[in-house]
Amino acid sequence: MEFCNAVRAKVKEGCEEEYLEINKSFENLPGQKISRLFKTGDRTYCYIGIWESEEAIAAQRDAMIANLDKMRHVLEELSPELGVTDPVSGTVVLDYEG
């Protein structure tokens, strides 16, 4: 069963170009079917990943943290509780494609 993750982040003022360049350097990880980054507002972005399964995303957790570490310096803290990202994930329950 497919699994999805979403990560919300806010980029520091003047760092959007660097943030986008860092993201362009990433490729889909093993088990990752779809990867999208979209702008949601002023310096705010959301990343969406679709995975083959919950096990597939779990196997890539260290790689995802390593990718975040490459961009952490251009992200604003969202809150003391969240840090620089607001991640969520879960099982895909509806697929509207085709």
Joined tokens for residue 94: 């509806």
Alpha carbons 56 and 59: distance in angstroms, whole number: 5
Q: Report the amino acid identity of residue 83.
A: G
Burial class (CB in 10 A: 0-12, 13-18, 19+), 49: buried
Rounded to two decimals, what is the model's pTM? 0.91
Q: How would residue 98 be classed by pLDDT, with cut points 50, 70 and 90?
A: low
For domain 3-91, give its CATH number from 2.40.128.130, 3.30.70.100, 3.40.50.300, 3.40.50.11810.
3.30.70.100
DSSP lists the bridge partners of residue 10 as 44
Query: pLDDT tens digits, residue range 24-76?
Result: 999 999 999 999 999 999 999 999 999 999 999 999 999 999 999 999 999 99
